[in-house]
């Protein structure tokens, strides 16, 4: 059997830190290999939105079309902004309906009056 001599080199703590590189810088070849999640561009967002449009639930507190509408309206300031217009239009429709009923009643009264007058004339003609 052949004899093998092994030599062991021992360092003090300070000498070890000065001699041995304990960082992992040798393991990476480029900083470009490290990927981070990036924010999609506006174009990418709308492309994804169009792709997912029919898979997004219509209603829901989050992740729905309803959620997008409510948040977008809050952002652009139309939530509550249309309430005044809607209320004004409802009041106008109510007023027009009331006016329409009054005109229909007036028309019915005029038709009834004309019919009564025509009947009276007919009776006078027959009686006289």
How many domains would you assign to the chain?
1
Residue 31 lies in a domain: no
Residue 117 lies in a domain: yes
The pLDDT value given to residue 73: 83
Binning the chain into helix, strand and coil, the percentages to the nearest 5 are: 65, 0, 35
Residue 109 lies in a domain: yes
* pLDDT mean values, one per 10 residues, the chain (128 residues): 78 75 62 65 93 94 92 76 82 97 96 94 89
The pLDDT value given to residue 108: 95
> CA-CA distance, 100 to 45, in Å (whole number)?
51
Residue 110 lies in a domain: yes
Residue 124 lies in a domain: yes
Rg (alpha carbons) of the chain, rounded to whole number: 44
Whole-model pTM: value is 0.37
Torsion of CA 61, 64, 70, 73, to 10 degrees: 160
């Amino acid at each position: 059997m052949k004899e093998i001599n092994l030599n062991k080199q021992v360092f003090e703590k300070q000498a070890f830190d000065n001699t041995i590189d304990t960082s992992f810088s040798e393991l990476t070849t480029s900083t470009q290999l490290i990927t981070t999640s990036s924010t999609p561009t506006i174009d990418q967002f709308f492309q994804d939105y169009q792709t997912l449009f029919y898979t997004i639930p219509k209603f829901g507190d989050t992740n729905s079309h309803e959620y997008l509408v409510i948040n977008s309206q809050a952002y652009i300031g139309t939530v509550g902004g249309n309430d005044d217009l809607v209320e004004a239009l409802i009041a106008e429709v109510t007023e027009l309906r009331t006016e329409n009923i009054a005109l229909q009643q007036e028309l019915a009264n005029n038709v009834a009056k004309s019919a009564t007058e025509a009947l009276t004339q007919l009776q006078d003609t027959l009686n006289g």
